[in-house]
């Protein structure tokens, strides 16, 4: 085991570090971390709006159902401008953070990215004087890939042309700085918008839709494949094994966030429309069902620590149980420790697979409701599972999974406890 760990540290860690520091992936990661507030607001609205589907069995739920039904237009609009505009926010965020990584002023690239995204993720259905009917179906999670392309392409082209002063228009020193900057960036901005316009014309003339519509039509099979039990299990193994070796899950967020947030957005849109929720594997599914207590599923392990007869392990449990309840695993991961502990390697990798498999199968069979809201990364799984699905059975499932996790952890935990005692006796 020691040779295996040393091999991974030598060969895997450098690759993981390079991935973590890649500027485009860092911009994507930072974007998804910082757009959470509007998504949280939209999630709360979605939870409130779900009351319209209740069977009013008591006064509280009857009042909730009445409020949601009478205010469905307002709630729908609030959900639209938060959850359903996710791709627009992603486009803005990636352009902004990528500009920060390059050390260039973000205003003009962000503005140009927004224009490009609107052009390529929507298309006109009716245009007349004083009236414009535009299709924005792809501004939710379906347009994330276009948002990634537009924002990165815009910043890269703008940076390349600006650094080489291609088409740079120098203004007299007497001209205000803002106007001088505007003229200086005129040619790069026009170049980017021209690229966007050419792509729009090609898609609209050949397919009658936007670039986002073309991308979705081409990649629909891939998106369906991504929302599958094998993929969910692979993610569970990858992230937890990586965490065991000290690789933070943020390393993979540049790859996973567009998928997990995209499926969540589609579920939220379906919920708002009163349709069946199409996806199981979403960001809230992973956070609330896949990693109960954070990576390593540390809530179950924290409870076992509290029951330990060893004072040092019990202290780790006391210090780590509350953070683990809120999805923060670091106190137990580093305090016990889990990281690079050969005894705890198997349960660390296995438990998330069990949780994901059980939850995925129950949701696929419609025994447990599917997720359509993301409340918070630090929302306790018991409440997060309940509120994100609108199904109290999901909260019961979390309790059962924690008990199952404790059973799986128990023999390995006792072995760790024994090895700790033997190590203490040596000293």
pLDDT computed for residue 289 by the predictor: 95
Report how far apart, in Å, the C-alpha atoms of 36 and of each of 23, 99, 217, 422 are: 21, 20, 28, 46
Cα 384 from Cα 169, distance rounded (Å): 54
pLDDT of 414 higher than 90: no
**Residue 223: partners with Cβ closer than 8 Å, 6 or more residues away:** 216, 259, 262, 263
pLDDT of 238 higher than 90: no
Strands (E) located in 110-269 = 123-128, 131-135
| pLDDT tens-place string over residues 196-218 | 999 999 999 999 889 988 988 88
pLDDT computed for residue 51 by the predictor: 65
Report how far apart, in Å, the C-alpha atoms of 331 and of each of 164, 316, 350 are: 49, 7, 20
pLDDT computed for residue 425 by the predictor: 56
**Residue 174: partners with Cβ closer than 8 Å, 6 or more residues away:** none
User: Higher-confidence residue: 424 or 187?
Assistant: 187
Task: Give me the mean pLDDT over the 263-268 stretch.
Answer: 88
**Residue 21: partners with Cβ closer than 8 Å, 6 or more residues away:** none
| pLDDT tens-place string over residues 76-129 | 898 888 878 889 999 999 999 999 999 999 999 999 999 999 999 998 888 877
pLDDT of 57 higher than 90: no
**What's the burial of 208, exposed, middle or buried (CB within 10 Å: 0-12/13-18/19+)?**
exposed
pLDDT computed for residue 333 by the predictor: 81
Q: Count Cα neighbours of 416 within 13 Å in the Cβ-side half-sphere.
A: 24
Q: Which of 248, 288, 305, 284 is nearest to 420 (CA)?
A: 305
pLDDT of 147 higher than 90: yes
**Residue 253: partners with Cβ closer than 8 Å, 6 or more residues away:** 25, 28, 29, 32, 33
Cα 289 from Cα 266, distance rounded (Å): 19
What is the 8-class DSSP label of residue 52? G
Q: Which of 178, 142, 91, 341 is nearest to 349 (CA)?
A: 341
Q: Count Cα neighbours of 343 within 13 Å in the Cβ-side half-sphere.
A: 15
pTM beyond 0.85, yes or no: no
User: Higher-confidence residue: 274 or 245?
Assistant: 274
CA 380 to chain centre: 17
What is the 8-class DSSP label of residue 343? G
pLDDT computed for residue 54 by the predictor: 58
| pLDDT tens-place string over residues 340-378 | 677 887 888 889 999 999 999 999 999 999 999 888 777
**What's the burial of 375, exposed, middle or buried (CB within 10 Å: 0-12/13-18/19+)?**
buried
| pLDDT tens-place string over residues 317-333 | 898 888 888 888 878 88
Q: Buried b / exposed e across 377-409, counting CB within 10 Å, b at 16+?
A: bebbbbebbbbbbbbeebbebbeebbebbbebb
* H or E segment and range at residue 404: helix 392-426
Q: Is the four-CA dihedral 79, 81, 83, 84 of positive or negative sign?
A: positive
Phi, psi of 128 (to 5 degrees): -150, 170
pLDDT of 245 higher than 90: no
Report how far apart, in Å, the C-alpha atoms of 361 and of each of 213, 280, 358 are: 30, 9, 5
User: Higher-confidence residue: 116 or 140?
Assistant: 116
Cα 17 from Cα 210, distance rounded (Å): 37
In the structure, what pLDDT confidence band is assigned to residue 301 with cuts at 50, 70 and 90?
very high
User: Higher-confidence residue: 174 or 232?
Assistant: 232
Lowest mean pLDDT among 28-37, 219-228, 298-307: 219-228
What is the 8-class DSSP label of residue 339? T
Task: Give me the mean pLDDT over the 42-52 stretch.
Answer: 75
pLDDT computed for residue 406 by the predictor: 94
Is the Cβ–Cβ distance between 408 and 399 less than 8 Å?
Answer: no
Average pLDDT, the chain: 85
User: Higher-confidence residue: 102 or 42?
Assistant: 102
Bridge partner residues of 133 (DSSP)? 126
Q: Which of 368, 367, 384, 359 is nearest to 229 (CA)?
A: 359
| pLDDT tens-place string over residues 155-185 | 999 999 999 888 878 777 777 777 777 788 8
**Residue 268: partners with Cβ closer than 8 Å, 6 or more residues away:** 42, 43, 46, 79, 83, 84, 140, 372, 373
**Residue 337: partners with Cβ closer than 8 Å, 6 or more residues away:** none
pLDDT computed for residue 427 by the predictor: 46
């Amino acid at each position: 085991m020691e040779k295996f760990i040393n091999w991974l540290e030598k060969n895997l860690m450098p690759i993981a570090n390079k991935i973590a520091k890649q500027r485009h992936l860092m911009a994507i990661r930072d974007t998804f971390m910082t757009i959470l507030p509007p998504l949280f607001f939209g999630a709360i609205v979605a939870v409130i709006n779900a009351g319209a589907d209740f069977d009013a069995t008591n006064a509280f739920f009857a009042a909730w159902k009445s409020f949601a039904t009478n205010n469905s237009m307002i709630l729908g609009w609030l959900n639209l401008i938060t959850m359903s505009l996710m791709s627009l926010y992603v486009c803005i965020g990636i352009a902004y953070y990528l500009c920060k990584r390059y050390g260039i002023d973000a205003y003009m690239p962000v503005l140009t990215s927004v224009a490009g995204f609107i052009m390529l993720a929507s298309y006109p259905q009716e245009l007349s004087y004083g009236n414009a009917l535009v299709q924005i179906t792809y501004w939710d999670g379906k347009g994330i890939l276009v948002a990634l392309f537009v924002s990165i392409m815009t910043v890269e082209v703008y940076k390349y042309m600006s650094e080489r002063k291609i088409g740079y228009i120098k203004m007299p020193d007497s001209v205000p700085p803002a106007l001088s900057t505007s003229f200086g960036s005129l040619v790069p901005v026009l170049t980017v918008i021209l690229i966007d316009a050419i792509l729009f014309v090609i898609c609209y003339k050949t397919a009658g839709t936007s670039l986002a519509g073309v991308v979705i039509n081409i990649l629909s099979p891939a998106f369906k494949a991504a929302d599958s039990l094998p993929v969910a299990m692979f993610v569970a193994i990858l992230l937890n094994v990586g965490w065991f070796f000290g690789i933070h899950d943020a390393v993979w967020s540049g790859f996973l966030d567009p998928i997990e947030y995209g499926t969540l957005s589609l579920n939220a849109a379906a919920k708002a429309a009163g349709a069946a929720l199409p996806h199981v594997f979403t960001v809230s599914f992973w956070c609330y069902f896949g990693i109960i207590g954070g990576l390593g599923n540390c809530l179950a392990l924290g409870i076992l620590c509290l029951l330990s007869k060893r004072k040092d392990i019990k202290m780790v449990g006391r210090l780590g149980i509350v953070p683990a309840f809120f999805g923060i695993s670091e106190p137990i991961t580093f305090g016990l420790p889990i990281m690079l502990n050969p005894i705890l390697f198997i349960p660390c990798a296995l438990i998330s697979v069990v949780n994901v498999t059980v939850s995925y199968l129950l949701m696929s069979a419609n025994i447990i409701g599917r997720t359509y809201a993301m409340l918070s990364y630090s929302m306790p799984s018991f409440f997060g599972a309940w509120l994100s699905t609108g199904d109290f059975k999901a909260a019961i499932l979390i309790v059962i999974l924690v008990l199952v996790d404790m059973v799986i952890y128990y023999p390995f935990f006792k072995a760790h406890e024994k090895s700790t005692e033997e190590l203490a006796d040596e000293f």
